Amino acid sequence: MKVTDKGQFKKSIKFVFVFSLLFLGFTFFTFKAQASQESLINLDQNTVNRGYTVSSLDNKLKLSLTPNILSEASLVKTEIIDESFAPFSLEQLSPVYQFEFLNKSAYDHDRPFYIQLAYDKENSDYKQVFFFDKNYGSWRPLPTQDFPEENFVRSLIHLPYARLAVFSYPSVLGQGEASWYAYKGGMFAASPDFPKGSKVRVYNLANNKYVDVEINDFGPDRSIFPNRAIDLDKEAFKKISALSAGLIEVSLEPLHVPKDNTGRILGLSSDGALLIPEIKAKSAIVIDQDSGEVLWEKDAETILPIASLTKLIAVKVFLNNNRNLEQVVEYKYQDEEYNYQYCSKWESARLRVSEGETMTIKDLLYATLVSSANNAVETLVRYSGISRDKFIKQMNSLADDLEAKDTHFKEPTGLSTENVSSALDYAIITKKALEDPIIKEIAGTRSYSFSTINTNKKHNLYSTNYWLRYDIMPFSASKTGYLHEAGNCLFVSIPYGDKNLIAVILGATSKEESLFASKDMFNFAQSKF
């Protein structure tokens, strides 16, 4: 559904909500479809006594049973299920397998056994076996070892019946290159995927030697080393390879991954891999940037303070009045005095410049959108060519012109709690703002450096969105915002094939929660294309 105004947005939201419910119900129904392949194996008493490896479905599924794990004979039914309902955040690499001990009472639940699943699709991402838990309505992970050269995974399980599949975590490498560096001098490693405190077993694929390491550092930078899975401390590297090798091919087996401060493990909630997003922020929406189609939303018309997301609209109004990026301007302390009407000096994000220092309009634009400097906004307003009152009026007029009726601006930085919008309104405004190539370029910048012209003082600016800064997600544009009253606010855009998607999150409890919300919404939207 193509959306060109707010009224159509509202209709689209209702359509998406109803369609999602219908789709969800339909999928649960089809999940019970007949198996496309099945096998029935008889485990007689002699087999039970000595243990057995059940191999079925053309060796795609194997159960390794230890002696007397069953108290008496049982039939084992194994199947490949035609229909599946994959979690939106993961990539499915195998069919959905199902096994069942038909004599369930014979199984000792306290004794786990190994299950081995083959996967058809190959990638270098971290792979894990999941079982479908109907109580949670989600896929839940099992401890998994990947054998990438043989295209199978092995897990421990203690269930007499399960539906299982192999999924991978997009952009979390489970196989790739490893280098070494000298840092702590122990069994440590740096990872861009697994958080500090994780324990990871690293296998050298050339000789099958392994070393267990603790992640104590972040890196390497995936934007520079896209195939680097991990960097090992020098002492750890020596356990599995000569230092002279420099780079080796490895696979990773996480032994322990701690929860982040949102309670997630590798982006998944404690409930597992969900079928639809579960967003905790007060309001959220994801749209197709080109067509304006609403792809998913939660309370998208709730009016909330938007903090520094305000700055995107301020920059748009400035560029409507002045596009001379090379114009040299002089900083005045009076600019930041406006900020202190709403906060103390130590609370305000600001560009550290002094009275009389000179720079270009371009420098101020980057300071505004990259590092969210409040004083830089007010200097831009002063050089816009119109009065401050008129500037703020034009910000509100821009919202009115786009039929963003729930949006209002009191001042241009976002420090006022009276700067309000809704996720729906702000998505409309962002779509319009990103049509400006200057805004699109600056909002997608990881870092920017400049020196003041008359004092030659260097300033290094870094994106306030660290997922953009460290290429954790391939965002093409972003702006963060925070006030105590507003919570954490975020807009991000991301390319997907020939499309571009925009997500807006308002009122998240933490910066991490807003980032994971955007990731979940993008993954859900992409899974529907």
DSSP 34: P
Q: What pairs with residue 38 in β-bridges? A: 79
Percent of the chain with pLDDT over 90: 78
Q: What is the mean pLDDT of the segment spanning 491-508?
A: 95
Q: Distance between CA 161 and CA 125 in Å, rounded?
A: 28
Q: pLDDT band at 36, cuts 50/70/90?
A: low
Q: What is the mean pLDDT of the segment spanning 367-383?
A: 98
Closest Cα to residue 485, out of 304, 301, 298?
Answer: 304
Instruction: Please give the torsion angle defined by the CA atoms of residues 343, 346, 351 and 355, in that order, rounded to the nearest 10 degrees.
Output: 90
Q: pLDDT band at 35, cuts 50/70/90?
A: low
What are 334-360's pLDDT values in tens digits? Answer: 999 999 999 998 889 999 999 999 999
Q: What class is the 283-527 domain?
A: alpha beta
Where exactly does CATH 2.40.40.10 map onto the chain? 174-256
- Structure confidence at residue 6 (pLDDT): 58
Q: Distance between CA 509 and CA 515 in Å, rounded?
A: 11
Whether the predicted pLDDT of 32 surpasses 70? no
DSSP 307: G
Let me know: does 252 contact 231? Beta carbons within 8 Å.
Answer: no
What are 186-207's pLDDT values in tens digits? Answer: 999 999 999 999 999 999 999 9
Whether the predicted pLDDT of 30 surpasses 50? no
Reported pTM: 0.81
What are 255-303's pLDDT values in tens digits? Answer: 999 998 888 999 898 899 999 899 999 999 999 998 999 999 999 999 9
Q: Distance between CA 422 and CA 297 in Å, rounded?
A: 11
Q: pLDDT band at 212, cuts 50/70/90?
A: very high
CATH annotation of 174-256: 2.40.40.10
Where exactly does CATH 3.40.710.10 map onto the chain? 283-527
Q: pLDDT band at 529, cuts 50/70/90?
A: confident
Whether the predicted pLDDT of 3 surpasses 80? no
Q: Was domain 31-169 assigned CATH 3.40.50.2300?
A: no
Whether the predicted pLDDT of 231 surpasses 90? yes
Where exactly does CATH 2.60.220.30 map onto the chain? 31-169
Q: Distance between CA 279 and CA 101 in Å, rounded?
A: 38
Which residue spans within 358-476 are E strands per DSSP?
A: 358-360, 420-421, 447-451, 458-462
- Structure confidence at residue 526 (pLDDT): 86
